[in-house]
Structure 1
Amino acid sequence: MLIQSLIPLGLFLIMLSMGLGLTVNDFKELLNRPKAVFVILLVQLLFLPLLAIAISLAIDLSPSLGLGLVLIASCPGGITSNMLTRLAKGDTALSIGLTAITSLTSVFIIPLIMGAFARLIGGELESFELSFLNIILQISALTALPLVIGMVLRNKYPDVVSHLESKMVLITALFFILLVVLTWIDQWENIKSSVNVAGTAVALLLVLSNTAGFLSGKIARLQEQEITTMLIEVGIQNGAMAFMIAATILNNMSIAIPSALYSVFMIIIGMVIVVVRRPNVA
Structure 2
Amino acid sequence: MSTKPAALYHRIVVWALFAMLLLPLLGTFLYSISTSWSATVLPDGLTLKWYIQLWTEPRFLNAFLQSILVCVGALLLATVLILPLLFVVHYHFPKLDGLMNVLILLPFAVPPVVSSVGLLQLYGSGPLAMTGTPWILVGCYFTIALPFMYRAITNNLLAINIRDLMDAAHLLGASTWKAALLVILPNLRKGLVVSLLLSFSFLFAEFVFANLLVGTRYETLQVYLNNMRNSSGHFSSALVISYFFFVLMFTWIANRLNRDRG
What band does the TM-score fall into relative to the shorter chain?
Answer: under 0.3
Computing the radius of gyration from Cα coordinates, the structure with the larger value is: 2
Relative contact order, higher structure (CA 8 A, sep 6+) = 1
**Higher percent of residues as helix:** 1
TM-score by length of 1: 0.26
